[in-house]
Structure 1
Amino acid sequence: MKKLLLTALLLPGLAFAEDITIQNLMRAESDTMFRLSMKQNNIGIGELFHEREVASANAPQTVIRPNQDTLYSAAIADLSKPVTVTLPQGDKRFQSVLVISQDHYNFAYASPGSYELTEDEVGTRFAMLLFRTFVDAGDPDDAARAHAVQDGIVVEGGGKGPFEAPDWDLETLAAARKAVNDLAAAVGLESSTSFGRRGEIDPLGHLIGMAGWAGQPARMAEGIVDSVDLNDGETPHVVKVRDVPVDAFWSITVYDADGFLAPNELNRNSYNNTSATPNDDGSFTIHFGACEDGRINCIPITAEWSYTIRLYQPREEILDGSWTFPAIVPAD
C-alpha cells in the first residue's frame, strides 16, 4: 500500500508574482500555507487559534483527506526571538506540536512540558506551530475535556513580525503542486523519507512530501492511503484488526473519489480505537458499505472510495515493517 497525503489549496494568482523554481518551491508552498492559515483563522504573528470541532462532511473542507481524530490549534511564530511552547499535563490524552519551517522541514513534541524554539534550530525566521489534540468526536463530554486541554497550550515570546515573504506566483505553484501530487500517487510517499529535520530526509523524499504538506515524522505518525480494487460503492468490505502496536491511537477514515468526507445518513466517515466497539476478544471489526443492516462499526461508501489509516506514535514493529495493518477485503 502506498502512503500518500494530499493537500488541495488552489488560490488565484497575484500581480507582480515572484517566479517559482525547483530551488524555492518548498519555500513558496510553506509561505503560502502560513499566509492562508493567518487569513482563514484571522490571527497575527504569535497568536494562537483553536479549532473546536473536527472536520465534517457537512462543512466546507479545504484540505484533502482531513482527519476526524484530532482538534487542531495553530500559530505562526516569528523566531527572530526565541519562542517557548508549553504542552499542558492535561488528562493524559494525545497532544502534540509539529514545528514546520518555511522550507517544510519539521520536528514534533508529544510530551507535556515546555520547549524553546530558535531560528537556528528551526532553520527559518518563521515557523508554523501545528498542535493536535485527540478527541472522541462522538462524545460531547470528551469534546469539552479536549477543549480544556487545548486551552492549556501556551506560546510565549518571539518577534512580532510582520510576516515577510515574496508574493509567490500562485498559478505556477498550483501547477507544481499537482505535478508533485501525481508523482506521489505514482511512486508513493513515505513519512520516514519525506518528513523530518534538515539532513534527516533525502531531497527527493522532501520534494514528494509537498504532496502531504504538514505531514508528520514517521515516529510521530504513519499514514497509509489506499483504495480497494472493487471500490464501486456497492461492494461491501471489511477488516478485522487487533493489538495494533501504537502508543497513542489508530484510526480509519473513508473518503470519496476526490479525497473528501462524503455526507451520509449515519453521519459516519471514520472510526478509531476509542469510537469503535470492540469484539469480545478485544479485536475490532470495521465494515465498509451495506450499513443498512445495522452491522457493527460500519462506514458508508461511495463510488471510487478510498481510505486513510493513521497510526499515531507507532512502535518499532510498524516502523521496521515487521507488522502491517491487515488488508481491507470484500465482505463474505
Structure 2
Amino acid sequence: MKRNIILSAILATGLFSGFVSAHDLGDNLPKKGKPTALQIKNGGTIQVTKDNFIAAESDKYFFEQQEKSGINHFTHDRILLTMDTQTVVRQNRDTLYSKSIWDTSGGVTFELPILDTYQTLQVIDENHRSIAVLYAEEGKNKITITPDMLSSGQHVWTVARTQVDSNTPSAIEDGNKKQDMIKGTANSDNLYIPKGFDQVTRENIRLSLEDDVLKLDFTKAMGAPEEKTIKPVQNLKDRQVELFHARGLTSMGFGGLSSEHAFYKVLLADDRSGVCQTMTFNTPPLTEKGFFSITTYGSDAYVHTENFALSSRKDELQANKDGSYTVNFNCGDTAINNIDVEAGWTGILRMYQPKSEEQIVKYAKEIKQPHSL
C-alpha cells in the first residue's frame, strides 16, 4: 500500500520517465543497431560472430579514430562530454579525453608531463589488450612501443584521460594546457587498413552481448597480452584474461582500464521504468589523485538527457553528514544529487586509481544497487 502511494505521488509530480526530456542521437551514432555511413564505408563482407567480435569491434574503433585524427596525431576533446559530443557507447564526462591511432612498426614513444593531478595514457592493440598505462608521475610517464609487444597487428589506439578540478572555463582551460603536454613520436606512418568486417553482424553481436552485463568479472576482462613479458614501465599486472569477460567488456565500452587502474560497477536499478530510485554508498578506497563518478545511459547505452552524470569533482556531488553519498535517479530537482534518466536506463559507477585491486573489488561487491524509496 505504501509503495502504491509513493508511486502515485511520483506520477503526479511528473517524475516518471515519460516526462524526462530525451535527446535524439546525432547522425554519427548508430540508430537501433544500424551501422553509420562511415562504418559501412569501412566495412566489408567478413561475417562477425562471438568468436571474432573483439577483433571486429576493435577494427571499428581504429578506423573511426583514424578518420577523425589521421595517423600519429592526438585529437583532444576540449570540453567534458555532452550529449552532442558522444562518439561511443557508455562514454562519460569524467575527464578530458585525447585519442589517436599510431603505427608502431618503426617504434613509437609516448611521454606524459609530471603533474600533481590525474592524467593517464592507455595504449591498446588491435585485439583490445592493454599494452601500457602511463601516469603523469616520475618513473611512470614514458614508454616506447614496438610491434613485438602487441598481441595483434602493428597499430595501437590510445586514450589519454586528463582530470580537471571542475567544469568551469578556467579549469577546462587549465586541462587543455595539460592535454597539449602529451607527447607521441613515431618513426613510421603506415595507415591502419580496415579488416573488412560486416558492420551489420558486428553491431548485432554487440547488442546481443548486452545480456551478459551482470555476469562479467572485470578483473578478468582487460589486461596485457598473454605470453608477453610485462616490463615495469608498462604499469600492468600479469593477469588471466578470459574470452567471455573480455568480449563482454569490449561490447560494453571500448578502452576500459584493468582493475588495478580503475574499477567499474554496473548499476541496474530494481525498477528501471523511470520511477524514482536511490542509492547510498561510502567513499571508495582510492589514492589521493583518485576520483569516482556515476554516469547514466538510455536503453541503447547512449546519453539522452542533459543531467546524466555526477562526479567527485568540486561542486558536483554533495556528501551526507557521515561522509557517505546518496545519489537519486528521477527523484526531482529538490532531491540530493539527482540524475535524470529515461525508461530502460542503466548506469556505471567508475572508480579511478584504487588503493589496491583487492580493496576496490571487495568494496564494489558491497554496494547496494539503486532501489525504490
Task: Give the TM-score normalised by structure 1.
Answer: 0.84
Of residues 322-331 and 301-310 in structure 1, the stretch that sits farther from structure 2 once superposed is: 322-331
The whole-number CA distance in structure 2 between the counterparts of 1:163 and 1:322 is: 40
| Backbone CA RMSD of aligned residues | 2.6
Distance 1:255 1:25, change over 3 A: closer
Residue 54 of structure 1 is matched in structure 2 by: 80
Of residues 141-150 and 239-248 in structure 1, the stretch that sits farther from structure 2 once superposed is: 239-248
Distance 1:234 1:174, change over 3 A: closer
Residue 18 of structure 2 is matched in structure 1 by: none
* 2:275 corresponds to 1:250: no
Question: SS of the counterpart of 1:209?
Answer: helix
The whole-number CA distance in structure 2 between the counterparts of 1:21 and 1:33 is: 17
Distance 1:325 1:155, change over 3 A: farther
> For the Cα contact (< 8 Å) 1:191–1:215, is it kept in 2?
no
> For the Cα contact (< 8 Å) 2:44–2:199, is it kept in 1?
no
Q: Which residue among 138, 142, 152 is the counterpart of 2:167?
A: 138
> For the Cα contact (< 8 Å) 2:63–2:193, is it kept in 1?
no
Q: Deviations over 1:156-214 (max 9, x none)?
A: 123111223432222332233233334x23x5222211111122312333333331322
For structure 1, the residue ranges without an aligned partner over 5 or more in a row are 1-6
* 2:301 corresponds to 1:259: yes
Distance 1:169 1:259, change over 3 A: closer
Of residues 22-31 and 106-115 in structure 1, the stretch that sits farther from structure 2 once superposed is: 22-31
The whole-number CA distance in structure 2 between the counterparts of 1:242 and 1:70 is: 22
Alignment size in residue pairs: 315
Residue 180 of structure 1 is matched in structure 2 by: 209
Q: Which residue among 20, 29, 45 is the counterpart of 2:71?
A: 45
Residue 184 of structure 2 is matched in structure 1 by: 155
The whole-number CA distance in structure 2 between the counterparts of 1:20 and 1:158 is: 33
Residue 210 of structure 1 is matched in structure 2 by: 250
1:279 aligned partner, one-letter code: N
Residue 96 of structure 1 is matched in structure 2 by: 120
Q: Deviations over 1:232-271 (max 9, x none)?
A: 3232x333333310221111122223322232xxx42211
2:282 aligned partner, one-letter code: R
Q: Deviations over 1:115-159 (max 9, x none)?
A: 111111123300101111123553222111111111110011231
The whole-number CA distance in structure 1 between the counterparts of 2:347 and 2:250 is: 20
Residue 4 of structure 1 is matched in structure 2 by: none
Distance 1:240 1:319, change over 3 A: closer
Question: SS of the counterpart of 1:313?
Answer: strand
1:99 aligned partner, one-letter code: V
Residue 308 of structure 1 is matched in structure 2 by: 348
Q: Quick check: which one's helix share is greater? A: 2
Distance 1:25 1:291, change over 3 A: closer
The whole-number CA distance in structure 2 between the counterparts of 1:169 and 1:330 is: 40
Deviation at 1:102, TM superposition (A): 0.7
Residue 4 of structure 2 is matched in structure 1 by: none
Residue 197 of structure 1 is matched in structure 2 by: 224
Residue 231 of structure 1 is matched in structure 2 by: 272
